[in-house]
Structure 1
Amino acid sequence: MIPYLGTLTLLCLLPLGLPYPLIKGRPNDTGSNLFPVNPPSLNVTGLADACNGEGFDAVTLDDQGVMHYFRGDFVWAGFHGPAQRINETWKHLHGPIDAAFRNHNKNKPLEHQRTYIFQGSNVFCYFEGSLLAGFPRPISQEFPGVPGNLDSAVECHSGECKADSAIFFKGDTVYIYSPQEVPPVKQRQWAAVGNCTAAVRWLERYYCFNGINFTRFNPVSGEVLSARPLDTRDYFVRCPGRGHGHNVRQNATLMAIKNRCSGQSFEAFSSDDKGRMYAFRGGWYFRTDDNKDGWHPWPLSHTWRDLHGAVDAAFSWENKMYFIQGSQVVIYLSDQIYIPVLGYPKPLIDELGVTEIDAAFTCPHSSELYVIRDNELRMVDLQQSPRSPARERTISHSQVDSAMCNFNGLFIFQGPLFYHYKDVEELVSSTEPPKPGNIAERFLDCLS
């Protein structure tokens, strides 16, 4: 929360640049909106300037995946259009507010995806644009043990935190609210993070705003993950003469990598038993299983520490993620964060019994790894030691870029196209490939 700051301005977001939340994709997105050549002007007569360094009281996503920025009596919704008074879009609520977050708790459907807004000692709860019955109510009633007059709040997802929870900031104290744990509220002192005047989770990343600056932090330890505080005006708000992504438009190679709809082939796809799907290209990756909150390419090292460069293949097995780069294998434990396994990288021949591969995949809850080289498929039993590949089986594809198996079947990726099979047996028994589909349309919500 920040002091009341008077009037308002129009918020727009930067063109897609490096590692921070900038833009929400659309189902019919061609990707061109990520790199606007002639962006709209922020100068709107009669409105205050978002670029003057005032910051925001709260930042949150709603149940539709739209980002909301609150300041004083006003709110900006999404990435286009003018600011409005808060009570025009959030009925029965008048600013300023203290904090806001979108709850995540799939085990409690009546609370999941609800937006909580905090003001003094009370909390409001909204869903699908409406204030829910029984709200506002005291914070102590809805979140026992959490104080009023908060500075900021943010949800934390199970898998990123130990359990679905909420993190509240007030002064120097952090309150971790997790009702399924004992005790349900734990207090922490996160000196490195400091006082967050606003906080938000976006695409598995957690951001603490302190005035106009922000940092990225670990929601479990409070470790600051940004090398230094960054200016909101260079990442979240379009400001004249500012911004970190302008050079992307001048680099056609980098633009093709980071524009998910460019049609450039992906080097690897991977899916794990938890349903997480990733697409890898040129040292960057997209999370493809949940795009409600938008799209963004991230450097590999943001999620997998010390992993850089192109990935030849990736697969998951028993809460571990394997990356193959050339003749080397590196493994990460899949916990609240990905933790590198000691002793890696190791030679591919020592780990899997093969020397070269074009693609690799495992199917859900199976120890059978399938590796593809040219038009030959081989199985490696990951439970064996030492591991030794079975005999080759011919498939109707050559020059495969990647392969992935999940609960929807088996996918073979070649260039901008994919081929879908029911399972491995259908793949090896087919004498010719099935009708192809478009990767960008099917997996990345692009309009071809």
Structure 2
Amino acid sequence: MLDDIHGIGHVDAAFRMHNVENTGDHDHIYIFLDDKVFRYYNETLEDGYPKPIQEDFPGMPSRLDAAVECPKTECKADSVLFFKGLDVHVYDIPTKAVKTKTWPHLPGCTSALRWLEHYYCFHGHNFTRFHPVTGEVSGNYPKDARSYFMKCDDHGHGHGYRVPKCNETKLDAITTDDMGKTYFFAGPIYMRLDTARDGLHAFPIARAWKEVASGVDAVFSYMDKMYMIKGDQVYIYKGGAHYTLIDNYPKLVQEELNIEGNVSAAFVCPSEHVAHIIQGPRIRAIDLTATPRAVLQDLPLPLSNIDAAHCSSDGIRLYKGGQYFEYQSPMLLAASKIAPMPHDISPEQFRCEP
């Protein structure tokens, strides 16, 4: 549409204003060309645009190379990083102040991307991951974007990987944090779903939780913390832009939750303070407000060999192999004597093959 209306042929830079809630800019798309900025909402060019860049972003140069938003949870304030050459112009959204930095160690970015709290500078067909405040580059970069951001039959990060059949799918744990992000764990990988629009993406667990890199037995979220159970130990991570292990953890399951034995699955329902711990054919309800923890219920399950469990506003799902069982509430689950009809895991849920 831009090309049809303005005949521009290309753009210099673009970003989505995603995290700023109260300025009227939330979920707007900004596209930059030469000395002009175009602003879109719901794929429609807004009235009054294009405008000079300096009218919307005072102090910004023309003919930019790249731009990316940086929310205050990851930068010092809600900001936009504008790239031109080796200079980075940090635009403070609330104050409209501009601070210019030079990061000579970072290649000249022709595009920039924020994805799952990480920042990527693209240059040629390569990319480099960087820290949005310091520009620091950690790890072995640059890397070939075709190996990570694209699907090619004979080239790339996933080359040789076979997508599992849905009936072969086996989950170890599922949880949804206080920000509404849902995490699925399977062996040494995890998948994260923010929204259906963002999609489901797989990463090594070591990338976010290095202490449990080989996998977990059960996971639940409570009060901005993620509880990961592995063997006889509990690892508690504090939420934020990135999860961090709390001091003095891990601790024994017995010490933290006042139960003994292996844990198969666990869940906490929204706005509740009870952890439901599945151990073989039994489910135990544990009061998370009590110190030490108190076991409120210890009941038999109508199912055995549960792999993972999850509770949301839609109810409870217990996963067993490539199937899951639904219950409307913990009370109905506890009172159930007969297992309900199972549902098959679908390709839409976990990117598996039918």
TM-score scaled by length of structure 2? 0.87
Q: How far, CA to CA, are the matches of 1:289 and 1:241 in structure 2?
A: 30
Match of 1:397 among 303, 309, 316: 303
Cα offsets for 1:26-55 (capped at 9, x unmatched): xxxxxxxxxxxxxxxxxxxxxxxxxxxxxx
Q: How far, CA to CA, are the matches of 1:395 and 1:162 in structure 2?
A: 49
1:283 matched to which residue of 2?
188
Within 5 A, what are the aligned runs for 1:315-330?
A: 315-330=220-235
Q: Does 1:112 align with 2:26?
A: yes
Question: Are the aligned partners of 2:299 and 2:334 in contact in 1 as well (CA < 8 Å)?
Answer: yes
Match of 1:309 among 203, 214, 217: 214
Seq. identity, %: 39
Q: Partner of 2:68: helix, strand, or coil? A: strand
2:93 matched to which residue of 1?
179
Question: Are the aligned partners of 1:169 and 1:196 in contact in 2 as well (CA < 8 Å)?
Answer: yes
Seen in structure 2, the aligned counterparts of structure 1 residues 240 and 334 have a Cα distance that, compared at 3 Å, is: closer
1:38 matched to which residue of 2?
none
1:436 matched to which residue of 2?
342
Question: Are the aligned partners of 2:307 and 2:320 in contact in 1 as well (CA < 8 Å)?
Answer: yes
AA aligned to 1:197 is: T
Question: Are the aligned partners of 1:396 and 1:432 in contact in 2 as well (CA < 8 Å)?
Answer: yes
2:61 matched to which residue of 1?
147
Structure having the larger proportion of residues in strand: 2
Match of 1:170 among 79, 84, 95: 84
Shift of 1:230: 0.7
Cα offsets for 1:161-200 (capped at 9, x unmatched): 56654322233433333424x4654544545545322112
Question: Are the aligned partners of 1:203 and 1:293 in contact in 2 as well (CA < 8 Å)?
Answer: no
1:426 matched to which residue of 2?
332
2:312 matched to which residue of 1?
406
Shift of 1:329: 1.6
1:210 matched to which residue of 2?
123
1:49 matched to which residue of 2?
none
Q: How far, CA to CA, are the matches of 1:286 and 1:97 in structure 2?
A: 32
Shift of 1:238: 6.8
Q: How far, CA to CA, are the matches of 1:238 and 1:169 in structure 2?
A: 28
Question: Are the aligned partners of 2:112 and 2:120 in contact in 1 as well (CA < 8 Å)?
Answer: yes
Q: Does 1:383 align with 2:289?
A: yes
Q: How far, CA to CA, are the matches of 2:23 and 2:346 in structure 1?
A: 32
Question: Are the aligned partners of 1:160 and 1:337 in contact in 2 as well (CA < 8 Å)?
Answer: no
AA aligned to 2:12 is: D
Question: Are the aligned partners of 1:276 and 1:289 in contact in 2 as well (CA < 8 Å)?
Answer: yes
Cα offsets for 1:184-241 (capped at 9, x unmatched): 5454454554532211233443211123321122334433244221123434467896
Q: Partner of 2:190: helix, strand, or coil? A: strand
Within 5 A, what are the aligned runs for 1:21-40?
A: none
Question: Are the aligned partners of 2:167 and 2:345 in contact in 1 as well (CA < 8 Å)?
Answer: no
Seen in structure 2, the aligned counterparts of structure 1 residues 384 and 128 have a Cα distance that, compared at 3 Å, is: closer
AA aligned to 2:304 is: S
Q: Partner of 2:60: helix, strand, or coil? A: coil
Shift of 1:324: 1.0
Shift of 1:431: 2.2
Q: How far, CA to CA, are the matches of 1:429 and 1:139 in structure 2?
A: 63
Seen in structure 2, the aligned counterparts of structure 1 residues 221 and 393 have a Cα distance that, compared at 3 Å, is: farther
AA aligned to 1:206 is: Y
Q: How far, CA to CA, are the matches of 2:348 and 2:150 in structure 1?
A: 31
Q: Partner of 1:377: helix, strand, or coil? A: strand
Match of 2:135 among 196, 204, 222: 222
Q: Does 1:273 align with 2:178?
A: yes
Question: Are the aligned partners of 2:36 and 2:53 in contact in 1 as well (CA < 8 Å)?
Answer: yes
Q: Does 1:87 align with 2:35?
A: no
AA aligned to 2:48 is: G
Question: Are the aligned partners of 1:396 and 1:431 in contact in 2 as well (CA < 8 Å)?
Answer: yes
Question: Are the aligned partners of 1:215 and 1:225 in contact in 2 as well (CA < 8 Å)?
Answer: no
Match of 2:11 among 97, 107, 129: 97
Q: How far, CA to CA, are the matches of 1:283 and 1:105 in structure 2?
A: 30
Q: How far, CA to CA, are the matches of 2:135 and 2:243 in structure 1?
A: 16
Cα offsets for 1:416-440 (capped at 9, x unmatched): 2222222211111122233333333
Q: How far, CA to CA, are the matches of 1:291 and 1:205 in structure 2?
A: 19
Question: Are the aligned partners of 1:279 and 1:287 in contact in 2 as well (CA < 8 Å)?
Answer: yes
Q: How far, CA to CA, are the matches of 1:164 and 1:434 in structure 2?
A: 48
TM-score scaled by length of structure 1? 0.70
5+ unaligned residues in a row in structure 1: which ranges?
Answer: 1-84, 250-254
Shift of 1:160: 4.9
1:132 matched to which residue of 2?
46
Cα offsets for 1:253-282 (capped at 9, x unmatched): xx43xx8x5641111001122211111101
AA aligned to 1:429 is: A
Shift of 1:354: 2.1
Seen in structure 2, the aligned counterparts of structure 1 residues 443 and 245 have a Cα distance that, compared at 3 Å, is: closer
Q: Partner of 1:208: helix, strand, or coil? A: strand
How many residues align? The count is 353
Seen in structure 2, the aligned counterparts of structure 1 residues 389 and 432 have a Cα distance that, compared at 3 Å, is: same
Q: How far, CA to CA, are the matches of 1:302 and 1:385 in structure 2?
A: 32
5+ unaligned residues in a row in structure 2: which ranges?
Answer: none
